[in-house]
Amino acid sequence: MTTESPRWFKSSYSSNGGQCVEVATNLVSSQGVVPVRDSKAPQHPALSLPIASFSAFIAALKNDAF
């Protein structure tokens, strides 16, 4: 078990428009997940995505799949 806390950050592309998510990639190696949360409501629960799912999501975004 780890006591490591997520270190949240927003993309440099977010430009402070209010429609952002934050991710914490520091938990990938220790837990194999990427936590994701709404930057407007950081007190709400975060989603913990398995690294394979997060990677597939990012790849789809880069390929303009949405």
Residue 17, pLDDT score: 65
Q: Are 41 and 12 in contact (CB under 8 A)?
A: no
Helix (H) or strand (E) segment spanning residue 36: strand 33-38
CA distance 40 to 44: 9
A 10 A CB-CB count for 35 gives: 21
Residue 1, pLDDT score: 45
Token pair belonging to 65: 């799949």
Residue 13, pLDDT score: 75
Residue 8, pLDDT score: 95
Q: Name residues of the chain where pLDDT drops below 70.
A: 1-3, 16-18
Query: 23: which strand partners?
Result: 9, 36
